[in-house]
Amino acid sequence: MYTDIGLLLSAFLLGTMTSFMVVTSPTVFKTLDDEHSKKFLRSIFPRLFNFCFLISTFMFLSFALGEFFFGMIFAIVIAISFLINTYFLTPKINTMRDLMLEGHGASERGFKTLHLASVLLYLLNMIFVILIFIVYYIK
């Protein structure tokens, strides 16, 4: 039963992440100007990452109670990566973006590198969630 709850939370996490990537982000860039999209994204990303952290923490607990070791490992890695994205990468990305907009040329490379790291971490989390399902249904 606990493993089933963990799997349900995994599906919910994957759906949340996918909908943000496919619906929210493109819509923001198509409908809002630079200033408003900046405000919106700086508000939504920490909330998204913290929400996903909570889901993945509950995934971990469910998998621990259900004794699904593989799910536990991936859920805790996912949870930690959301904390890294929230409290380490996002503030640095925002700083680099501000410096870039002020005309500091060197900050553009830093922004692109940090943003790429954040996006890759996000995509890696999606892959980890998919792997949880694959491993569970193969065993």
pLDDT in tens, 81-130: 999 999 999 999 999 998 988 888 888 899 999 999 999 999 999 999 99
pTM of the model: 0.91
Q: Is the pLDDT of residue 139 over 80?
A: no
Question: What's the token pair of residue 17?
Answer: 């992440």
Q: Which residues contact 91 (CB under 8 A, 6 or more apart)?
A: none
Other Cβ atoms closer than 10 A to 98: 13
Predicted local confidence at residue 102, as pLDDT: 86
- Measured between alpha carbons, how far is residue 21 from residues 6, 14, 68, 97, 139 in Å? 22, 11, 28, 20, 30
d(CA 118, CA 93) in angstroms, rounded, equals 9
Average pLDDT of the residues in 11-23: 97
Q: Is the pLDDT of residue 134 over 80?
A: yes
Tell me the residue range of the domain where 18 lies: 2-138
Other Cβ atoms closer than 10 A to 86: 19
d(CA 82, CA 66) in angstroms, rounded, equals 23
- The closest of 116, 110, 113 to 95, measured between CA atoms, is 110
Amino acid identity of residue 139, one-letter, is: K
**Domain count along the chain:** 1
Q: Mean pLDDT over all residues of the chain?
A: 95
